[in-house]
Structure 1
Amino acid sequence: MAKPARSSLQRRLFGWLMLPLLVALPLLGWALFGQVQQSAQGWLDEGLEDTALTLAGQIDLRSGEPRVDVSATMDRALRFDRQDDVFYLVLAPGGQVLQGDAGLTDLQPRPPAQAAGGVWYGDVRLRDRELRLVQLGAACGAGACQVLVAETLHKRDALQRQIGSLVALSGLGLVALLALAAWWAIRQGLAPLTGLSVELEHRDLHRLTPLTASLPRELVPLQAAFNRLFERLGRAAGAQREFLADAAHQLRTPLTSLQTEIELAMLEPHDPRMDPLLERLRQRVVRSARLAQQLLSLARAEDRRVDIGNALDLRDIATECGQDWAHRALPIGVDLGFELAEAPALGDAFLLRELLENLVHNAVSYAGAGARITVRCGSGHDGSWLEVEDNGPGIPTAERPVVMQRFRRGESAKGTGSGLGLAIAADIAARHGGRLDMLDAHAGPGLRARLSLPPLPSLPSDQGPAA
């Protein structure tokens, strides 16, 4: 059954931030649209009112009866508009038409009469046309003349569309800007958590030092919890290493004694039929003693108290290992050769000797009698290296990562190995900040195990090597 996809914290935060924004912005946009439209409507209505006031100023009361005298030039000026048709009408207090478009008397709905100084605005219909009307009450003796000015809605509709488009585009732009700002802010806010995840990804039982990164206040309890977990893991790993070392140490002495007793028994007079049994016992004890030694080496490789900062030369380590193996390789017909060059490095000599011992032992065990094994070392701009090459059957490429895991052997491996040799070598390499690679032999079949160590740290510019 497929596991459900895990939601992203970053996306969840982004969604919760954008949800109220997407709800509030349309409401704010609608309110802004209404406010701007009302203001624009007010400005246009003031223009109509100005026209009505101009007409009211043309009412003449000197003859006793109100009269309006509008010249042709003034009429054109009052009606001039590049987008809309403008209509006007001046009515006497009794409703008689004094000047203008008499058809405005048929407006629906009919606007209420205004007292002198009163103003009324509204939308009206004249037959099939929508109009915006302002009606102004002007003093006309004992009554009030009614001044009506109306215009069609073309520029008002166009202005409404422009305002709506502007508010919509502004809202979309604001949403996009706020979305980018929120996404960037969330990424920046979660960056410490991402950094903490990366740091934790590189932690293992060899690196349980406390986390010391400067984190936001909300992540400090999480960091403290991890540090307490590392402390408990460190104590547990230390107890395991001590148990392993103690058990291996306690086993090594009786196993060595048992091996000696078996070898002495083989030298004493005995029934020849017991030789195969005694040889099998001896081999089993040798293997057990080897396993105990490897467990000791494994415990030492994981011991954080071991100083790996000592200056040494891999050539010296290879020379010592060669001296130890010379008397063991010759009897079984192994051609053990050395191509050594200066290879300065920092590390622990005991652990690096154990690494090389495991590589050589692995080559001798699996290459078989009559094998040709070469130990090389040297240095370059990217650090020093040490390798052991044999002409044995090698290890298939797909199995090489597996054989460097503890108690794991290749499917085609022969012999009675425990699957610890290469794992210990890989652990020691990692402990020294280097790596162990399983490579093909330079020529023909075989395996080349190569240890690569980092270069020596450079001295400050004002210092140099001792004379």
Structure 2
Amino acid sequence: MAEGSRSSLQRRLFGWLMLPLLVVLPVLGMALYQQVQSSAQSWLDEGLEDTALTLVGQIDLRSGEPRIDISATMDRALRFDRQDDVFYLVLGPRGEVMQGDAGLTELQPRPKPQPAGSAHYGDVRLRGRELRLVQLGRDCGNGGGGICQVLVAETLHKRDALQREIATYVALNGLTLALLLALAGWWAVRQGLTPLTGLSAELERRDLHRLTPLTARLPRELVPLQAAFNRLFERLDRAAGAQREFLADAAHQLRTPLTSLQTEIELAMLEPHDQRMEPLLERLRQRVVRSARLAQQLLSLARAEDRSVDVGFALDLRDIATESGQDWAHRALPSGVDLGFELAEARCLGHSFLLRELLENLIHNAVSYAGAGARITVRCGASADGPWLEVEDNGPGIPLAERAAAMLRFRRGGKAAGTGSGLGLAIAADIAARHGGRLELLDAHGGPGQTGLRARLSLPPVPPDPAPAA
């Protein structure tokens, strides 16, 4: 599956967390809006009712017939409103107009008479205008048979404005709350997945050279996963150990008879024999030499993968290169091969045998593939990034596209000459990784236009107070 098409666990968790919010928050917002609007309407209706009660209090029954007299000052006070037009009407027991705006008798729908002491609220229309109405019934005498009706109505300007204001505030507060909850949810999801990120980083640092158990403190839900990984590491460690033991045993069992066979062939070549057998004996000797070399490399490979070997001793790559130079000085090099050394102090932490084996494989690889008349230079030194060691030759080199594959086991370049087995660079790369460094195949110092190959080992800087060499 492509990386872009994979579902993000963080996005999935955030989506499932936000889904209830997207459903519940609008419902809660609507409920809040309805509640606040109802409270505001009740408050405004109470204002209308107060006006109606004031009118009810002005009805005079002392003469036996209901009468009401509203002065001009009270009329202005009853009608005063900064935003809306206020109308009122007092009807007698027989429906006659006693005071106020007679036009209210044309309200649609027409309001029904209310019993004494009862109030009715409603939305009505008057000549195309929307009004809010409150209607009160008032006992006007005559043994309870006469009930006056008091109507007070007003336009809806402040109610509409208040409704818009409430809707705006509820929407803004709802959006702000949703944004804050989304940010809090995103942060909570990221924090909740932090242990997984740490576990992933720990797993990235594990390989066949480091299969130690995971010991990070994780949430209870991740403990079974950690335990499963630790059991897997244990099985891999046993399998890798069995493989190393097999390689070491097989190589050890092969090396002795191969060495004996090589000696026998060389002795046979020294004895008088038919010269027609000379090419056959030489081919046998080369095959045995190659097999012995392969057995030695298998032993080195098993040693490089053995995690029980301590690679924390203080060493100097210059000393290791000097020892290798002395060994190669006694060997028969191909015709015209010039092996030189440019050495400087390069202190590091490692295992001397493994690092000598790494350098041995790099030099042997250069001698085998650079060809007759090649110039090979071994260098070492230290930089701000740490100590380094490199072997450079002016042979045909390895194409850039094949260099990564050349460091795999039993893989050789497409144009490689010689009789190598394809293990030398792989062993060197394993030893470099075992020391926390890296092996790179680079162009010779002459640049991409020149032939040759430069194998460079880079190691980490030496920390303070390293352990002394064994």
Q: Same fold (TM over 0.5)?
A: yes
**Equivalent residues in 2 for 1:381-392 (5 A)?**
381-392=384-395
Q: Distance in 2 between matches of 1:381 and 1:164?
A: 66
Deviations 1:235-264 (A, max 9, x none): 000000000000000000000011111111
2:247–2:299 Cα contact (<8 Å) kept: yes
Give the Å deviation of 1:198: 2.5
Q: Distance in 1 between matches of 2:30 and 2:333?
A: 95
Is 277-286 or 448-457 further displaced after alignment? 448-457
Aligned mate of 2:411, from 391, 408, 427: 408
Aligned to 2:204: 201
Q: Distance in 2 between matches of 1:7 and 1:454?
A: 38
Give the Å deviation of 1:405: 1.2
Is 122-131 or 247-256 further displaced after alignment? 122-131
1:312–1:344 Cα contact (<8 Å) kept: yes
User: Secondary structure of the equivalent of 1:387?
Assistant: strand
Aligned to 1:457: 463
Letter in 2 for 1:5: S
Aligned to 2:301: 298
Aligned to 1:28: 28
Letter in 2 for 1:200: L
Q: Distance in 2 between matches of 1:66 and 1:60?
A: 5
Deviations 1:354-374 (A, max 9, x none): 000001001101111221111
Aligned to 2:380: 377
Is 52-61 or 214-223 further displaced after alignment? 52-61
Q: 1:366 and 2:369 equivalent?
A: yes
Q: 1:445 and 2:451 equivalent?
A: yes
User: Secondary structure of the equivalent of 1:206?
Assistant: coil
Give the Å deviation of 1:97: 1.2
Give the Å deviation of 1:429: 0.7
Gaps of 5+ in 1: none
1:341–1:378 Cα contact (<8 Å) kept: yes
2:346–2:381 Cα contact (<8 Å) kept: yes
Deviations 1:185-237 (A, max 9, x none): 11211121122123212321111111111111100000000000000000000
1:389–1:441 Cα contact (<8 Å) kept: yes
Aligned to 2:187: 184
Q: How many residues align?
A: 461
Is 389-398 or 226-235 further displaced after alignment? 389-398
Distance 1:416-1:331 versus aligned 2 partners, 3 A rule: closer
Is 89-98 or 284-293 further displaced after alignment? 89-98
User: Secondary structure of the equivalent of 1:328?
Assistant: coil
Identity of aligned residues (%): 84
Give the Å deviation of 1:3: 10
1:329–1:336 Cα contact (<8 Å) kept: no
Letter in 2 for 1:136: L
Aligned to 1:222: 225
**Equivalent residues in 2 for 1:24-173 (5 A)?**
24-142=24-142, 143-173=146-176
**Equivalent residues in 2 for 1:313-328 (5 A)?**
313-328=316-331
Distance 1:3-1:179 versus aligned 2 partners, 3 A rule: closer
Give the Å deviation of 1:330: 4.7
Give the Å deviation of 1:397: 1.9
Q: Distance in 1 between matches of 2:20 and 2:308?
A: 56
Q: Distance in 1 between matches of 2:394 and 2:183?
A: 61
Q: 1:268 and 2:271 equivalent?
A: yes
Letter in 1 for 2:431: I
1:244–1:296 Cα contact (<8 Å) kept: yes
Is 20-29 or 403-412 further displaced after alignment? 20-29
Give the Å deviation of 1:412: 1.7
Deviations 1:382-435 (A, max 9, x none): 221111111111122222211111111111211121111011001101101111
Letter in 2 for 1:313: D
1:363–1:373 Cα contact (<8 Å) kept: yes
**Normalised by the size of structure 2, how large is the TM-score?**
0.93
1:92–1:144 Cα contact (<8 Å) kept: yes
Aligned residues: CA RMSD? 2.0
Letter in 2 for 1:458: P
Give the Å deviation of 1:167: 2.1
Q: 1:335 and 2:324 equivalent?
A: no
Letter in 2 for 1:115: P
2:334–2:372 Cα contact (<8 Å) kept: no
Is 387-396 or 246-255 further displaced after alignment? 387-396
Is 70-79 or 352-361 further displaced after alignment? 70-79
Give the Å deviation of 1:459: 4.1
Aligned to 2:177: 174
Give the Å deviation of 1:2: 8.4
Deviations 1:337-384 (A, max 9, x none): 111122211111110000000010011011112211111112233221
Gaps of 5+ in 2: none
Distance 1:99-1:28 versus aligned 2 partners, 3 A rule: same
Q: Distance in 1 between matches of 2:344 and 2:332?
A: 22
Give the Å deviation of 1:139: 4.0
Give the Å deviation of 1:110: 2.9
Letter in 2 for 1:114: Q
Q: Distance in 1 between matches of 2:317 and 2:389?
A: 7
Letter in 1 for 2:119: V
Q: Distance in 2 between matches of 1:189 and 1:140?
A: 74
Q: Distance in 1 between matches of 2:138 and 2:418?
A: 121
1:329–1:335 Cα contact (<8 Å) kept: no
1:394–1:446 Cα contact (<8 Å) kept: yes
Runs of 4+ deviating beyond 6 Å: 1-4
Q: Distance in 1 between matches of 2:285 and 2:169?
A: 94
Letter in 2 for 1:361: H
Give the Å deviation of 1:166: 2.3
Is 154-163 or 386-395 further displaced after alignment? 154-163
Q: Distance in 1 between matches of 2:337 and 2:125?
A: 114
Aligned to 1:246: 249
1:345–1:384 Cα contact (<8 Å) kept: yes
Give the Å deviation of 1:117: 2.6
Q: Distance in 2 between matches of 1:448 and 1:299?
A: 26
Letter in 2 for 1:456: V
